[in-house]
Amino acid sequence: MSKIISGFSKFTKEQKINWLTENYFKNKAETANIIKQYWNTDADLQELHDDFIENTISNFYMPFGVAPNFVINNKTYTIPMVVEESSVVAAASLVGKFWSTRGGFKTTVLGTTKIGQVHFMYAGNKNELENYFNLNKTELLAATASITKNMEKRGGGILDIKLVDKTAKLENYYQLHVTFETKDSMGANFINSCLEAIAKQFEKEDIEIVMSILSNYVPECVVRAEVSCKIEELGGENPQKFAEKFYQAVKIAEVEPYRAVTHNKGIMNGIDAVVLATGNDFRAVEAGAHSYASKSGEYSSLSHCDISNGIFKFWIELPLALGTVGGLTALHPMAKLSLEMLQKPSARTLMQIMAAAGLAQNFAALRALTTKGIQHGHMKMHLQNILNQFEATDKEKEIITAYFDKRTVTHSAVVEKINSLRKPKVNWVQFLDENSIRTQLLKLNKASKPLFGLMNAQQMIEHLSLLMQISNGKINADHYVSDEKSARRKPFLDTEGELQIGFRASILSDEPTPEKFETIEKALNNLIAEIKNFEVHFKTEKVENHPFFGELDYEYWKKFHTKHFTHHFKQFGLV
């Protein structure tokens, strides 16, 4: 199939998926299954979601969490949050509870005016344009009567229309600057419809309308949220020092744009999560907030702090153009649930709730940054994401979470710990269990082939017996091993590590030793005898020399033989 396609929007959902998998994915069946597994089993509900946008093929899930214990203007809220970033909800919850015992959040709406503009070009006399505007202003308002009728019943509508001269910045450029009150509606469709009606009424031969569109910069639709308490009530070992560092952190964000961008991004972590949960437009909110942060001509912090007179005060002012009726808020079941959770707020109240969430998120980030560092808490939360990525079991999560309780969390460290837990446990051979050893080795015969190495089955048995004889003091293996080498090598016997393929003490020959006994059975009987002698020998002897590890006592010889037997049992596939 071609990757350039016509009429794609007319395809059924199945046809769209087929076209995508054919053109962009290697495993077509698996891709289609992943896409479809996120469909809602309720066909009507899925159809509702399909109709939100165009060319829908599936749903993209985001976690829906809640942050309880927010006291805002003496009213308690549990705030819904939709966000994929770990630690956001946890931080908001902790801060909500922290300030709930210190007076809570105090919020005020400073304005709810929204803005739209008709952009046009006019090359004529400015005075004539002004006269034309003034004469027709009433007609411009009248042109929107059918649109504004219902909004005016709710106390909203068009507040004013102004003619603005922008020719100093762009030749022949003017605009009609229109201000609106949209009450509980975000009002995008309402504003744009009014603007288009105004533009149509205003346009004439020498006025060229370029476009009519709302602005997401709403510096008169602003909310303020604040927390405050005595510095001594902040808690911790040194609340005064904490307050001073916190204050400096905010001041840095006020004067340093590089820091301010990240600072404000943290604020928007909290706000965007509530915007998404309530079905509002997070892109519009983001654009408005960041432009407001630049209103002085330089990008700066949206939050501010004061610690004078022994009082810690932390506040935020930012524009939030929101709605609680219409649009997705009225269609998406989870958005409706979120608004009900928030006790069915007006748009003004929702502005205050979101501002509190943003301030809480900022407080949490600055508290972490100025004390333990941002990664301490963030990586603890990120730990769960890593564990989920590797499909850790509940038991693995319990072990690994406890392991990192007082350790630094890094991706590589977590992966290493997961791998260590999942590393197959060695099935060590219990060489002192004579019956088990005999049963296993009787499975071998002259035709048995090794999985590695050159020894045949009988040579392997006789080799095990040789090392048993060395430990039993029957063969002199006084090959000198310095104390330094022994100290370096012996700790290996205390580990779970196995003898590597090819391991060989230097006194042993490269080639297998010729068979000593006539049959495997006789060689096996000799080995069993040496195993019995091992226990007897160390009742009187303290140590025997190993040609590689040096002097070993009974316990270390046991560890060696366990590894040695296991190594050679694996050689012939017995374990």
pLDDT tens readout for residues 527-562: 999 999 999 999 999 999 998 899 999 999 999 999
Pick from 324, 279, 320: nearest CA to 183: 324
Q: Which of 39-48, 222-231, 374-383 has the lowest mean pLDDT?
A: 374-383
CB neighbour list of residue 363: distance below 8 Å, 6 or more residues apart: 95, 99, 227, 314
pLDDT above 70 coverage of the chain, percent: 97
Q: Decide if pLDDT at 372 tops 80.
A: no
Show contacts of 367-375: CB within 8 Å, 24+ apart. Answer: 367/95, 367/242, 367/246, 368/91, 369/249, 370/242, 370/245, 370/246, 370/249, 371/236, 371/242, 375/409
Q: What are the structure tokens assigned to 387, written together? A: 């564990």
- Relative to beta strand 106-109, strand 64-72 is unpaired
CA 258 from chain center: how many Å? 23
Any idea which residues carry the catalytic annotation? Answer: 85, 265, 281, 378
Pick from 134, 180, 140, 145: nearest CA to 160: 180
pLDDT tens readout for residues 434-481: 999 999 999 999 899 999 999 999 999 999 999 999 999 998 876 778
| Residue 515 amino acid letter | E
Report the pLDDT averaged over residues 34-47.
95
CA 451 from chain center: how many Å? 46
Pick from 410, 453, 440: nearest CA to 524: 440
Show contacts of 417-425: CB within 8 Å, 24+ apart. Answer: 418/387, 418/390, 418/392, 421/396, 422/396
* Residue 480: predicted pLDDT: 74
* Residue 389: predicted pLDDT: 87
Max mean pLDDT among 338-342, 394-398, 487-491 falls in: 338-342
User: What is the spatial distance between Cα 2 and Cα 16, in angstroms, rounded to a whole number?
Assistant: 13
Asked if 234 and 99 count as a contact pair (C-beta separation under 8 A), the reply is no
**Confidence band (pLDDT; 50, 70, 90) for 61?**
very high
Half-sphere exposure of residue 35: CA atoms within 13 angstroms, side-chain side: 18
DSSP alpha helix (H) spans, 423-541: 434-441, 457-471, 483-489, 520-537
The side-by-side arrangement of strands in the sheet containing 303-306 is: 106-109, 222-230, 311-319, 303-306
**Confidence band (pLDDT; 50, 70, 90) for 239?**
very high
Q: What are the structure tokens assigned to 257, written together? A: 């744009």
Q: Decide if pLDDT at 380 tops 90.
A: no
User: What is the spatial distance between Cα 188 and Cα 196, in angstroms, rounded to a whole number?
Assistant: 12
66: three-class secondary structure by DSSP:
strand
* Residue 501: predicted pLDDT: 83
Average pLDDT, the chain: 93
The helix-helix angle for 394-403 and 411-422 (nearest 10°) equals 130
Place of tokens 């509190």: 356
Q: Decide if pLDDT at 375 tops 60.
A: no
- Relative to beta strand 207-215, strand 114-122 is antiparallel
User: What is the spatial distance between Cα 69 and Cα 102, in angstroms, rounded to a whole number?
Assistant: 12
H/E stretch holding 137:
helix 126-142
User: What is the spatial distance between Cα 565 and Cα 562, in angstroms, rounded to a whole number?
Assistant: 5
H/E stretch holding 210:
strand 207-215
- Relative to beta strand 543-546, strand 303-306 is unpaired
Strand partners, 158: 180
Cα–Cα distance list, 262 to 29, 82, 301 (Å): 41, 20, 9
Report the pLDDT averaged over residues 138-166.
97
Asked if 448 and 572 count as a contact pair (C-beta separation under 8 A), the reply is yes
Report the pLDDT averaged over residues 388-404.
88
User: What is the spatial distance between Cα 430 and Cα 433, in angstroms, rounded to a whole number?
Assistant: 6
pLDDT tens readout for residues 241-258: 999 999 999 999 999 999
CB neighbourhood size of 333 (10 A): 11
User: What is the spatial distance between Cα 260 and Cα 244, in angstroms, rounded to a whole number?
Assistant: 18
Asked if 96 and 67 count as a contact pair (C-beta separation under 8 A), the reply is yes
Report the pLDDT averaged over residues 269-294.
97
Pick from 346, 351, 27, 438: nearest CA to 155: 346
Report the pLDDT averaged over residues 343-358.
98
* Residue 511: predicted pLDDT: 83
Cα–Cα distance list, 426 to 430, 496, 497 (Å): 12, 8, 9
DSSP alpha helix (H) spans, 143-187: 145-153
